[in-house]
Amino acid sequence: MQAGERKTLADLGLSERLEVRVECDLHGTDFSAFGLQGGKLADDRYMVFYNQPRSPEGAITLRPPGEFTFELQALPPAVDEVYLTATHDESPLSNAGRLNVSFGAHTFDVKPHLKAEKAVMLLRLYRHSGGWRLAAVAQGFNGGLAALVGHFGGEVAETANEPLPAASAPPVTSPVNLRKERQRVILEKAEREQPGLVSLIKTASISLEKRGLSEAQYRVKLILDISASMQREYQNGAVQKLAERALALAARLDDDGEVEVYLFGVKAHRKGALSLGNVSGFVNRMGVELEGGTHYNPVMTMLREDVRREGFDIPTLVLFITDGGTSNRDAVVRQMIEASREPIFWKFMGIDQAAGKGGFLGGLMQRAAADSFGFLEKLDDLQGRMVDNADFFSVPASIDLPDNQLFDSLVNELDSWQRDARRAGILR
């Protein structure tokens, strides 16, 4: 059977008396059956596990470690579904070499569906249209048995005699778990210190989810153009708004939730880390002195040095904000080709100063913009790279597109780069 599949017992060639065998080679894995009423564990005698291997009337029995016998016709009518589960106190079940469930002539291989779950629902037997059905589930909770029991109604967790792994449990070793925890801490911190950012963080996480990147981890770095033509964007707060959005993205992607900020005009400058603690007024405090030129090359070199020093174990997402084309284009092209071997994805956002401008001057500006952005588009499609490590999009100078569109654009292609980079061995 495949995950998600739902069938009547008759379609599976099974009767209401059925045997299910769970096999798992991860030491310390426990198997249990939960008989629920209206989705809740209303009666804890219907939690069948090694300490209570039999429901009161014997409709569910367990022969440890993992052989269950069901006499579904003997279950009280109020019990309308039974979940068969696997849990582990310490380790994600994905550490098992195999976890499969067999019944009748069928086998359900659960292992390929596991990520960081320490508790997983394997099968669901449930009443539907006057009969019993079976669903292959393979979904669960990183929080283990406590989270699973919470899902089944929660009250039991308070009253059960069986101690649940709680604060006393040893620290989890899975990086994904720690990361979830870290994200939660960052969100709570935002709720306390920057409530205005909370909805931005949530919007950012939706864009990431859409790309299948909800569990992705990146260092986020922001590169800001300080060429003279950017003056208005610094004065009217547009750059500050962009910085806040970069931070919201980092709250989901970045382990420390901070964004390293770089400035470039003619020269390149490191401006430290943007964080929840210092985001208010960050751009004003930088004391930007605009420069009379646009050179991508020095800041790219500086950033690549920093990334190399920090290590290639975690990929880097660079948000490169510019309103014009660079000098020394050949050097930039070489950089991009070289950098395609590094776990860095370059997202170029072009601020189109000419958009919507008419007249002779507007025409000139539009021609200049077409040239600059043509170069950025060329970077996007540049040949000779190991993988496509860049994406370009442009926005009109007011930068007032809706946040969900901005986040969608900022993470566009990140998923395909991640896949290609992993395949090419650039990313672990």
Chain residues binding another protein by CB under 8 A are 2-7, 113, 115-117, 121, 128, 133, 135-137, 139-143, 151, 206, 209-210, 212, 214, 415
Nearest approach in angstroms of CB 85 to another protein is: 11
Are 119 and 164 spatial neighbours (Cβ–Cβ below 8 Å)?
no
- Comparing CB distances to another protein, the nearer of 142 and 366 is 142
Are 271 and 286 spatial neighbours (Cβ–Cβ below 8 Å)?
yes
Nearest approach in angstroms of CB 116 to another protein is: 7
Nearest approach in angstroms of CB 133 to another protein is: 8
- Comparing CB distances to another protein, the nearer of 200 and 376 is 200
Nearest approach in angstroms of CB 58 to another protein is: 29
- Comparing CB distances to another protein, the nearer of 151 and 245 is 151
Nearest approach in angstroms of CB 207 to another protein is: 9
Alpha-carbon torsion (327, 330, 333, 334), positive or negative: negative
The phi, psi pair for 133, rounded to 5°, reads -120, 165
Query: CA–CA separation, 249 vs 254, rounded Å?
Result: 8
- Comparing CB distances to another protein, the nearer of 143 and 315 is 143
- Comparing CB distances to another protein, the nearer of 72 and 116 is 116
- Comparing CB distances to another protein, the nearer of 121 and 190 is 121
C-alpha R_g of the chain: 28
Closest CA to 417 of 350, 297, 352, 336: 336
Distances (CA, A) of 100 to 22, 50, 111, 143, 260: 6, 19, 7, 21, 45
Within 8 A by CB and 6+ apart from 79, the residues are 35, 36, 37, 46
67-71: strand order across its sheet: 60-63, 67-71, 17-24, 99-103, 106-109
Nearest approach in angstroms of CB 304 to another protein is: 30
